[in-house]
A = this chain, B = another copy of it.
Amino acid sequence: MCSHYKDHHHTRGRSCMACSDYRMERFIEPCLLLLLLEKPAHGYDLITRLREFGFAEDQDPGMVYRNLRRLEEQGAIASEWDTSGTGPARRLYEVTDEGRDLLNAWADNIKLNIETLQSFLERHQTLDP
């Protein structure tokens, strides 16, 4: 996998026009929900597990924690402090029923996006060389 994720917006194609590297907005949200549905976890762990969805090796922690906060405010996930293990205390997150619904809504939306993008590609391929 290429250097997916990170590094757009600020170093975007001013001189290098070939590097338009945009992605689906807010995609981190369904990824977090899916990871947490597979296995409850804490933020620091999710930062590394996000790589499985194409996020950068050094994924911004702030992005992850802020999204977890927002999801919890919305009632999609719930957390409790876990002081069992070694190291500093961690928040253990799990998905609520509402969160499961939210993830399903995301999946539907993602399906629509795939269809839109695919029809774009098909139309692009009908052009002359």
Q: Which residue of B lies closest to A16 (CB)?
A: B105
Whether A20 pairs with B26 at a CB distance below 8 angstroms is yes
A45 contacts B by Cβ under 8 Å:
no
A53 contacts B by Cβ under 8 Å:
yes
Whether A31 pairs with B109 at a CB distance below 8 angstroms is no
Grouping DSSP codes into helix (H, G, I), strand (E, B) and loop, the A interface class, with mixed when no group exceeds half, is helix
Q: In the complex, which residues of chain B have a beta carbon less than 8 angstroms from the beta carbon of A110?
A: 117, 120-121
Q: Which residue of B lies closest to A23 (CB)?
A: B113
Q: In the complex, which residues of chain B have a beta carbon less than 8 angstroms from the beta carbon of A123?
A: 34
Whether A18 pairs with B117 at a CB distance below 8 angstroms is no
CA A113 to CA B111, docked complex, whole Å: 12
A106 contacts B by Cβ under 8 Å:
yes
Whether B24 pairs with A113 at a CB distance below 8 angstroms is yes
Min C-beta distance of A128 to chain B, whole Å: 9
A54-B116, A116-B53 known; A101-B17 Cβ under 8 A: yes
Q: In the complex, which residues of chain B have a beta carbon less than 8 angstroms from the beta carbon of A114?
A: 114, 117-118, 121
**Which residues in A have some Cβ–Cβ distance to B below 8 Å?**
2, 4, 8, 13, 17-27, 29-31, 34, 37-38, 53-54, 74-76, 98, 101-103, 105-107, 109-114, 116-121, 123-124, 127
